[in-house]
Amino acid sequence: MTRKLTAGGKLVVATHNPGKLREIADLLRPYAIEAVSAGALGLPEPEETAPDFVGNARIKAMAAAMASGLPALADDSGFCVAALEGAPGVHSARWAGPDRDFAIAMARVHEQMGVGAERRAWFVAGLCLAWPDGHTETFVGRVDGEAVWPPRGERGFGYDPMFLPRGGTLTFGEMEPGQKHAVSHRARAFAQLMAACFVDLSRA
């Protein structure tokens, strides 16, 4: 049976990434859930050893839930390029190096794609909501588009400036936050999560 979170509760967002925390906090705000980051609680980042996004999200969410004694939400997402057989994929953050420099990561994607390569690309987000007793709920969102070069825009984070969603004219890096939330992989996964696990205050 799907487990619910109710308004007024507290949730640990299992991330140390400020950009990701901002997006998740924005998506949680209408549900009156207090969000606190794993970084703010001083929780360590567990090693992500799963071969897929949902598996890594589960590792992070369970670690945060067990350490904090609170429900925890983790996202594992990545940028996937057809010409690179889906890479960087689950290793998207690692391509940015220890300093999380995504300008380096984007340049590496561009270099490895080469001239004339297929431009098809997609973002995937796996979400896991975990409780300290080990119960989990998982969801997946995806948005398709293409990789562009040079990167465009200074909004968003990660690989956003080099991703143009299908049918769009702006990269994720050029979009206002509200525009990105309407179409992103994370928003699509969140829509499933909210429908399944959060109490709609308008109907309460």
Instruction: Return the percentage of the chain with pLDDT > 70, whole number.
Output: 97
Q: How does pLDDT run across 74-112, given as a tens digit for each residue?
A: 999 999 999 999 999 999 999 999 988 999 999 999 999
Residue 129 lies in a domain: yes
Residue 92 lies in a domain: yes
Residue 203 lies in a domain: no
Q: What is the arithmetic mean of pLDDT over 67-78? A: 94
Residue 100 lies in a domain: yes
Output the pTM of the full model. Answer: 0.86
Give pLDDT, residue 8: 79
Question: For position 97, which CATH number holds?
Answer: 3.90.950.10
- The total number of structural domains in the chain stands at 1
Residue 4 lies in a domain: no
Instruction: Return the percentage of the chain with pLDDT > 90, whole number.
Output: 65
Residue 181 lies in a domain: yes
pLDDT higher at 201 or 106: 106
Q: Which of 75, 76, 101, 200 is catalytic?
A: 76
Q: What is the arithmetic mean of pLDDT over 161-170? A: 97
Active site residue 200: no
pLDDT band at 200; cut points 50, 70, 90: low
Arithmetic mean of pLDDT over the chain: 91
Give the closest residue to 183 by CA, choosing from 148, 151, 147, 143: 143
Q: What is the arithmetic mean of pLDDT over 142-158? A: 95
pLDDT higher at 33 or 87: 87
Give pLDDT, residue 174: 97
Give pLDDT, residue 199: 67
Predicted confidence (pLDDT) at residue 202 exceeds the cutoff of 70: no
pLDDT band at 66; cut points 50, 70, 90: very high
| Host domain of residue 94 | 10-197
